Structure 1
Amino acid sequence: MTYLDYQATTPLAPEAFDAMLPWLRDHHANPHSPHVAGRKAKAAVEVARDHVASLFGTGGHVAFTSGATEALNWAIQRTDGPIVTLATEHAAVLDTCAAMAAQGRSVTVLPVGPDGLMDLETARAAIEPGTGLVAAMLVNNEIGVIQPIAALAEIAKAAGALFLCDAVQGYGRVQIPPHCDLIAVSAHKIHGPKGIGALWVRDGVYLAPLLYGGGQETLGRSGTLSPALCAGFGTAARLMAERRVADAAHVADLSRRALDRLEGWIVNGAQEPRYHGNLNVRRDGLDVARLMSSLRDVAFSAGSACASGSGRSSHVLRAIGLRDAQARSSIRIGFGRYTQADELCAAIDRIAAMAESQRIAA
């Protein structure tokens, strides 16, 4: 199997697996217990927290969560006032905003251009004094474009609003700009384990808990933490910091090789600024379901894994102006640290050949 679906999830780093194993096999104490075994587990959690926090810069607090979905829900549900967000956000943001709107909270969803990028003047007009929260994604999970988060956060700050950054796809890969107040991340998108994420909260920002109970975690989140998941997350974050330059060079090389082989395909969204480990491309008239059925040993996608069972075409591709048929003729190819150049090139060649055979047969 050639795995080209890094936006859905990344392979677990061997070092992260090794860091988790003792806490799965040998140590079972609750990290919130006061005895020696519990304090040892707590120490492992805090080491992991420091590694995760290091990718945010200085200051703030990192609260571990069950994943980015919980982190985003927490940030949106436990802030006040009108919300401004983008049409290309992840469902965890858009659906939560819709739920808030159903409860009477004002929600403004800003459009994006054909390149997938928001217009700052449109944002400036919408983010007025009195806005409570502005929420935007750093790197889009479907088309890979990088939004002007620094400028948007400045606009939010000038209006007195809090700024929430969904940094799931960019964490450890793209510099997180200053002036963010809340940042949501996920371990399994950086070669860590599934089932754990984090919400970073700027010093001086208070959020009421989303989950009530024992209040074990920092910022009052309730629930028993898994030292194994924390250790895996922390190790993955440390590796992202250590390998940032090498990973970026490897991804850039893979992207160039892939694009060279996709002659006649159209890249959806801006080619710059973009995270180059995400290629969303289309070939009009392509039957994506048939393509995927013909290449069962190549793992790529037709869009977000979270929406794959909905039967709808991608809301992101529709938001950049694609017709439904164009959106349905698009595929997402994702690669990264553990992708070998020869396997990527072979898979791309097979995808291109199969697409061409469809065109000839049509």
Structure 2
Amino acid sequence: MKPEKRLIYLDNNSTTPVDQRVLDTMMPFFANNFANASSTHQFGVGAHEAVKKARNQVADIIGAETNEIVFTSGATEAINIAIKGVVENYSEKGKHIITVLTEHSAVLDTCKYLEKKGFEVTYLKVKSDGLIDLDELKNYLRDDTVLVSVMYVNNETGVLQPIKEISNLTHSFDALFMTDATQAVGKIQIDVDDLGIDLLCFSGHKIYAPKGVGALYVRQRQTRIKIPALFHGGGHERGLRSGTLNVPGIVALGKACELSKEGMKSNAEQIKTMRDYIESKLLLISDTFVNGNISHRLYNVTNICFVGADSEAVIMGLSNLENNSPLIAVSNGSACTSASIEPSHVLIAMGLDENKAFNSIRISLGKFNTIDELDIVIDEVKKVVENLRAMIH
């Protein structure tokens, strides 16, 4: 048998490896402390206490109160509970929703579903750098707007939207402001009060916790937001999400939030240095450019167009099992939509033509990457891109 190839993983925006400290924290809740957190016996109370601690850790990373945190199976579920819940409960105010063309499919597909149910959705365009135009938002806000949902950090480009300004505008029309902060939580400082966020969603598996656990923040102070349950039975999670709690996952999410908060500054500096390094080297390849605003973006991601090199072919070339080079994992956009061979809806919304959208690669770094790995990646990308371009000419 061949020895396993070394892996260089640069797809942290689609998922991250589980931090060993997170794994160590959650393991006892599979084997020894396996009680149901709703049970009233002493064994159950122990599990309940562990969930309570995790709820504190999650609330702490976004400046929320513990009674504002609802545990879910991930951001997609949290988004569904939030959007469907708000429009159902606030339909007396109106049936108008505003979101953005570059949102994750979890938001876009939920909005498309609601359009069939008689809701009106405005999809804001973005400028060529991926940012929305605040004046356009202002023009579309109406008295019957119930919800504005704008993603904090774009998963494909890393572009950061001006969340505070957006929430101020939203509130001036008495609408609620929600953000999908899946790529932001744990990476940058977030204070839901300072930013004026009413609802916020995120997933554990983007911050070194396992897949299958996430959280929804629902504001209960100043304005108390009421949303009806999507699941019924048992009344868990303040009645918003019935079902036996995933104690190991919740404990893991809590620990991951705690570690992210502790390491936020040092991780940011280390990862940004690596991102800037690999980006500057790859841009030396002819006919390349970065997609998205480079001053308003998160420090861990670069989305680069290699004109004339098909991204699928680049991905395959970098994960070639035949040669001796390491297996390199990069992506061409959102993992949730990669099953469909469509150009990235984010890049198309930014005005790229289909060819250039199909020539774009996302490299997203994490805290376990090293500079040494990047030199290998730079060499391999050059080789693969040059070979692909040579085949065309």
State the TM-score, normalized to the length of structure 2.
0.90
Q: Does 1:180 align with 2:194?
A: no
**1:105-116 matches, cutoff 5 A:** 105-116=119-130
Partner in structure 2 of residue 284 of structure 1 = 307
Whether 1:268 aligns to 2:291 is yes
Within-5 A mapping of 1:80-229: 80=87, 81-176=95-190, 178-203=195-220, 204-229=224-249
The Cα of 1:128 is off from its aligned counterpart by 1.7
Q: Distance in 1 between matches of 2:239 and 2:345?
A: 34
Deviation at 1:290, TM superposition (A): 2.0
- Tell me what 2:3 maps to: none
What displacement does 1:239 show?
Answer: 0.4
Q: Percent identity?
A: 39
4+ aligned runs moved over 4 Å, structure 1:
none
* 2:360 match: 330
Where do 5+ consecutive residues of structure 2 fail to align?
1-6, 88-94, 320-326
The 2-side partners of 1:346 and 1:306 are apart by: 28
1:233 aligns to what?
253
Counterpart residue type for residue 208 of structure 1: P
The whole-number CA distance in structure 1 between the counterparts of 2:312 and 2:82 is: 36
In structure 2, what residue type is equivalent to 1:197?
Answer: G
Distance in 1 (alpha carbons) for counterparts of 2:102 and 2:142 = 21
Q: Secondary structure at the match of 2:304?
A: strand
Contact 1:29 1:41 in 2 (8 A): yes
How many residues matched? 362
The answer (yes or no) to whether the contact 1:48–1:231 under 8 Å persists in 2 is yes
SS at match of 1:307: coil
The alignment partner of 1:134 has SS state of: strand
Asked whether 1:74 is paired with 2:81, we answer yes
Q: Are positions 1:62 and 2:69 aligned together?
A: yes
| Cα distance in 1 between the residues matched to 2:345 and 2:276 | 27
Q: One-letter code of the match for 1:104?
A: G
Partner amino acid, structure 2, of 1:8: S
Change (3 A) 1:219 1:244: farther
State the Cα deviation string for residues 240-298 of structure 1 (Å, max 9, x = none): 10000110001111112112211132100111110121111111111222222222111
After superposing the two structures, state which structure 1 stretch, 96-105 or 123-132, moved more.
123-132
State the partner residue of 2:324.
none
1:228 CA displacement: 0.6
Tell me if structure 2 keeps the 8 A contact 1:261–1:352. Answer: no
- 1:2-21 map, 5 Å: 2-21=8-27
* Structure 1 residue 338 displacement after superposition: 0.6
RMSD: 1.1
Shift in Å, 1:151: 0.4
Q: How far off its partner does 1:219 sit?
A: 4.7
User: What do residues 13-56 of structure 1 show as CA deviations (whole Å, max 9, x unaligned)?
Assistant: 11100001100121221101111111100100110110011011
Is 1:298 equivalent to 2:328 in the alignment?
A: yes
Choose the corresponding residue for 2:371, options 307, 328, 341: 341
2:91 alignment counterpart: none
- For residues 156 and 330 of structure 1, the distance between their equivalents in structure 2, rounded to whole angstroms, comes to 33
Give the 3-state SS of the residue equivalent to 2:389 in structure 1. helix
Between stretches 219-228 and 302-311, larger displacement belongs to: 219-228
- CA distance, structure 2, for counterparts of residue 115 and residue 321 of structure 1: 9
CA distance in structure 1 between the partners assigned to 2:225 and 2:122 by the alignment:
23
Give the partner amino acid of 1:132.
Answer: V
Q: Distance in 1 between matches of 2:62 and 2:310?
A: 41
Alignment partners' CA distance in 2, 1:348 and 1:307: 26
User: Is contact 2:148–2:176 with CA below 8 Å preserved after alignment?
Assistant: yes
Per the alignment, residue 346 of structure 2 pairs with 316
CA contact (8 A) 2:188 2:264 kept: no
Would the aligned equivalents of 1:261 and 1:349 in 2 still touch at CA under 8 Å? no
Deviation at 1:218, TM superposition (A): 2.7
Q: Which amino acid aligns with 2:51?
A: V
Preserved CA contact (<8 Å) 1:63 1:199: yes
TM-score (norm: length of structure 1): 0.98
Q: Is the 8 A contact 1:209 1:219 kept in 2?
A: yes
